[in-house]
Every structure is written in structure tokens, then in C-alpha cells.
């Protein structure tokens, strides 16, 4: 396939470029995931899309390509599977993504943590998970067994979507993120049986992904992530928006005001200190921040939406 026609459409800058159709976007991203696009053209596509930004049709097409190349996972009977992406890690605040997962699993809601870590300047979420005795499953079957027995499993992106991982790995080489970073947070390993938790940082991406989740359907939660991670900021709750089969609503509005540190809850992203903080919240020695409790409540409600 010649990629020049694609680049010609998307590579003319934010004003002169034109969006691809759903079908064109699906074909292009499929070739990107399959490793068929030569390096020169791949770099041109990534940078052009970075400047132009993905349209709704392009995101839908990209999602189709990703879904066709992703591994599915069996969900045990009962509530839907909550899918928690982790791609950023901690920078200044403690990472409470594992706390969210453990609180949901404690209530019988199955949770799959999926992700990858490429940031040398941040504390790896997988090191934190290891400290909490949450280790990546050895296989899909192993993850399915963990979901059935302990309601919690972790899988690396390479296992769920092998073609997506090399695209994410280009970030250190190119210096910028690309469309694969957005798609990774939209990964659905249990179509019709999942609740995807989708976190974005920039307001324009929150708007873009809102439109995508409405158009795509399914069950999901969208929020502004904490340092990029998919948990509600314990200092000030972001808006928690929920999606049920194309209908969007606000489960909890955003809190107003500042976001000062919480007394008695240190902001230490170091692995052992972070793990100790989570254990203290789990055993009741420290209170679980209300924004986290609100997120748990909203996800628990979404998990009982009838499966497809």
C-alpha cells in the first residue's frame, strides 16, 4: 500500500489537512499495528496526526483496527469487568490507582489493570503493583483464573495488543506522544462485558473522547486523570462522567476550589511509601479520600449494567 495519499490528506497542517474516513483510518492504523508502514512514512503519519489531531471518524477507525488485533479475556459471571489503564506512573503525588482496583475487587467487582511504562522520570506503576503483591499474569488464561479467584488481575499491553506496544515505544525516540497513546486507554479486552475507565489530561482530549465514547457505545467512565493515571485526584474530585450505550451523564461533578495536600496523607510517590499509604487506607488506619470513594461508587453502579 502507498501511504503518500494518507499523508497528503493529513499532513497539510491544522488548517489545510482533511480527516480520513472511518474506513481509511481503520486500514491505516491496522497497517501501523501490523508493522507494515516504513519508518519514514510512519514518522510522517505520527507527526501529521499529532499536529492535526484525530477526528471522531479517525478515532472510530483506529479503534476498529485495534479491536480486531486485540486479545479478548473471559469475564467471570456477575459484574462487568472494570478495565483500568496505567501508562504514566507517579511524579509528585502518590499513585492511588492500585487502591481503586483493590477497593473494587474487595466488593466483588472484577478488575483488570492493563498498561505499559516508558517514563524514566516517573515511578513505575508496575513497581508499585509488585510491592502490593499484584504481579502481571503469565498468560491470558492465568489472568482469567486470577479474575475468577481474587477478582483482580494485571496484564501488560504486549499481551493484550502486541501491535500497539511498538507504537507507544516510539515516544522516547520521537519526543512526542502519538495516537496509540490515546487508543491504549480505550482498549477493551472484554467487549460487551466491560467498564472502561478512560483518563485524559488535556481539556480538548476530554471533549474528543467524550464524543468517541458516545458514538462507540458501551459502558465507560471518563475523567481527568491524576498525573495521567485513571484515579480521581484525592485532593479535589474531577468530574466523573459515565457512559451507558451511547448516553452520557455526570455521576459526580467536579469540585471547585484549590487542591491543597491532605493532612496526614503524605504525597510521596516512592514505591515503598506509596504502598504503605495504600495498605494503611485498606486496613482503616487512614481514611480513603472521598473522591476515591465516589469513583468506587460510580464504577460499582456501572458494573451492574446488564451485559450485552
pTM score: 0.95
Lookup: cell for 186: 480505550
Edge-to-edge strands, sheet with 219-224: 152-156, 111-115, 81-86, 194-200, 219-224, 240-244, 247-252
- Residue 172: per-residue pLDDT: 86
- Rounded CA gap, 272 and 266, in Å? 12
The pLDDT tens digits for 240-268 are 999 999 999 999 999 987 777 777 777 78
Residue 248 sits at φ, ψ, to 5 deg, of: -105, 145
- CB proximity list for 173: less than 8 A, separation 6 or greater: none
CA 215/CA 189 separation, integer angstroms: 19
Residue range 269-293, pLDDT digits in tens = 899 999 999 999 999 999 999 999 9
Mention every residue, 6+ apart, whose C-beta is less than 8 A from residue 15.
Answer: none
By C-alpha distance, which of 186, 241, 184 is closest to 216?
186
- Torsions phi, psi for 9 (to 5 deg): -75, -45
Residue with cell 483506529: 62
CA atoms within 13 A on the CB side of 159: 20
What CA–CA distance (Å, rounded) separates 250 from 90?
27
Residue 14 is predicted with a pLDDT of: 76
Query: What SS3 class is residue 222?
Result: strand
- The chain-wide mean pLDDT, for the chain, equals 95
Q: Report the C-alpha gap between 82 and 104 in whole angstroms.
A: 9
Q: Tell me what pLDDT residue 108 has.
A: 98
Task: Dump pLDDT digits (tens) for 117-173.
Answer: 887 778 999 999 999 999 999 999 999 999 999 999 999 999 999 999 999 999 888
Query: Is residue 170 within 8 Å of residue 46, measured between CB atoms?
Result: yes
Residue with cell 451492574: 304
Greater pLDDT, 121 or 11: 11
Q: Summarize the chain as % helix, strand, coil (round to 5).
A: 45, 15, 40
Average pLDDT, stretch 77-91?
A: 94
Residue 9 above 80 pLDDT?
yes
Amino acid at each position: 500500500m502507498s501511504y503518500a495519499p494518507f499523508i497528503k490528506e493529513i499532513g497539510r497542517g491544522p488548517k489545510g489537512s482533511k480527516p480520513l474516513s472511518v474506513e481509511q483510518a481503520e486500514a491505516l492504523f491496522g497497517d501501523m499495528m501490523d508493522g507494515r508502514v516504513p519508518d519514514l512514512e510512519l514518522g510522517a503519519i505520527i507527526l501529521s496526526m499529532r499536529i492535526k489531531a484525530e477526528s471522531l471518524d479517525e478515532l472510530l477507525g483506529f479503534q476498529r483496527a485495534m479491536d480486531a488485533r486485540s486479545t479478548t479475556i473471559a469475564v467471570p459471571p456477575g459484574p462487568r469487568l472494570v478495565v483500568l489503564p496505567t501508562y504514566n506512573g507517579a511524579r509528585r503525588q502518590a499513585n492511588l490507582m492500585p487502591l481503586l482496583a483493590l477497593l473494587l475487587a474487595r466488593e466483588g467487582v472484577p478488575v483488570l489493570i492493563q498498561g505499559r511504562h516508558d517514563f524514566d522520570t516517573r515511578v513505575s506503576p508496575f513497581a508499585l503493583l509488585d510491592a502490593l503483591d499484584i504481579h502481571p499474569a503469565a498468560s491470558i488464561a492465568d489472568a482469567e483464573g486470577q479474575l475468577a479467584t481474587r477478582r483482580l488481575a494485571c496484564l501488560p499491553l504486549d499481551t493484550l495488543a502486541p501491535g500497539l506496544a511498538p507504537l507507544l515505544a516510539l515516544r522516547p525516540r520521537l519526543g512526542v506522544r502519538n495516537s496509540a497513546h490515546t487508543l491504549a486507554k480505550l482498549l477493551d479486552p472484554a467487549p460487551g462485558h466491560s467498564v472502561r475507565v478512560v483518563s485524559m489530561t488535556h481539556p480538548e482530549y476530554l471533549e474528543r473522547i467524550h464524543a468517541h465514547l458516545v458514538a462507540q457505545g458501551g459502558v465507560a467512565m471518563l475523567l481527568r486523570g491524576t498525573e495521567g493515571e485513571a484515579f480521581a485526584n484525592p485532593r479535589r474530585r474531577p468530574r466523573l462522567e459515565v457512559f451507558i450505550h451511547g448516553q452520557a451523564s455526570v455521576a459526580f461533578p467536579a469540585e471547585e476550589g484549590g487542591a491543597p495536600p491532605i493532612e496526614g496523607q503524605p504525597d510521596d510517590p516512592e514505591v515503598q511509601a506509596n504502598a504503605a499509604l495504600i495498605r494503611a487506607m485498606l486496613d482503616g488506619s487512614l481514611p480513603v479520600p472521598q473522591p476515591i470513594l465516589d469513583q468506587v461508587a460510580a464504577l460499582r453502579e456501572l458494573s451492574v449494567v446488564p451485559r450485552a
